[in-house]
Amino acid sequence: MARRVTALVSERRNCVRVELDGTPWRTLPAAAVVAAGLLLGTELDRVRARTLARERRRAIALGAAARALARRDRPAAALAAELERRGVARPAGEEAVARLAQAGYVDDARFAAGRAAVLAHRGFGDDAIRFELEQAGVACELAADAVAALPPERERALTVLLRAKTPLAGVRRLAAKGFAADSIEAAAAEARVELAFD
């Protein structure tokens, strides 16, 4: 015999405490209660209980994804991995990421462009930026587009080289920061630095 909802009490953080047949049952996300159509007097039969469980998983996944994005922007793959790490089931996590992407909260192209600009400002070369973006879960094409939108690598290399304490320190920094050999050579030529490669 199905039990009947006898109380719905609002709790902290958008949660609702549900009582069945006058006995406290569970505290659930308000979004799940609403989506499952749980009202005072409704019976919690098997079908409604399954719907409620599915909606609860969705609400938990969406809440965890929103909290993860509140701290910092992430690409879709990184957000899905973070949700899985937090114990969110893969289907619910993927659905939450898809919903947030559809709403514009998750945008891999925006993430790639912003992260590429930050890394370029910190003195990284194109290869290092591309690698960093791909490690974060950005598709190769989007990483390439983000790098292509940056100021030319040769100009950035010259800036790094001119700021270095010594020419040799500048060249070492460029090599360590993922600049291409031709960009290093072009920057060195423009700065009139002699390079000796063995």
The pLDDT score that the predictor gives to residue 195 is 53
Q: Tell me the sheet residues that pair with 47.
A: none
Q: What is the mean pLDDT of residues 14-40?
A: 93
Q: Tell whether the model's pLDDT for residue 197 goes beyond 80.
A: no
Cα→Cα distances 153→2, 111, 112, Å? 68, 20, 17
Q: How far is CA 164 from CA 122, 187, 188, 197, in A?
A: 13, 12, 12, 19
For 40-59, write each residue's pLDDT tens digit. Answer: 999 999 999 999 999 999 99
Q: How many CA atoms lie within 13 A of 56 on its CB side?
A: 13
- Residue 198, pLDDT above cutoff 70: no
pLDDT in the model for residue 111: 97
pLDDT for position 191:
77
Range 107-150 has CATH code 1.10.10 = yes
List C-alpha distances in Å: 95 to 24, 91, 102, 123.
30, 6, 10, 37
Q: Do 3-103 and 107-150 share a fold?
A: yes
Per-position DSSP letters for 132-183, written without gaps between them: HHHHTT--HHHHHHHHHTSSPHHHHHHHHHHHSSSHHHHHHHHHHTT--HHH
Boundaries of every domain in the chain? 3-103, 107-150, 152-198
| pLDDT on residue 50 | 95
Query: What is the residue-averaged pLDDT of the chain?
Result: 92
Question: In the prediction, which pLDDT does 194 show?
Answer: 57
| pTM higher than 0.85 | no
Q: Which pLDDT tens digit goes with each residue over 112-121? A: 999 999 999 9
Tens of pLDDT, residue by residue over 125-165, are 999 999 999 999 999 999 999 999 999 999 999 999 988 88
Instruction: List, in sequence order, every beta strand (DSSP E) within the chain.
Output: 3-11, 15-20, 23-29, 43-44
From the number of C-beta atoms within 10 Å of its C-beta (0-12, 13-18, 19+), residue 21 rates as exposed
pLDDT at 27 over 60: yes
Q: Does the domain formed by 3-103 have CATH 1.10.10.10?
A: yes
- Measured over the CA atoms of residue 80, residue 84, residue 85 and residue 88, the dihedral's sign is positive
Residue 66 has pLDDT above 70, yes or no: yes
Place of tokens 């996944």: 61
pLDDT given at position 2? 80
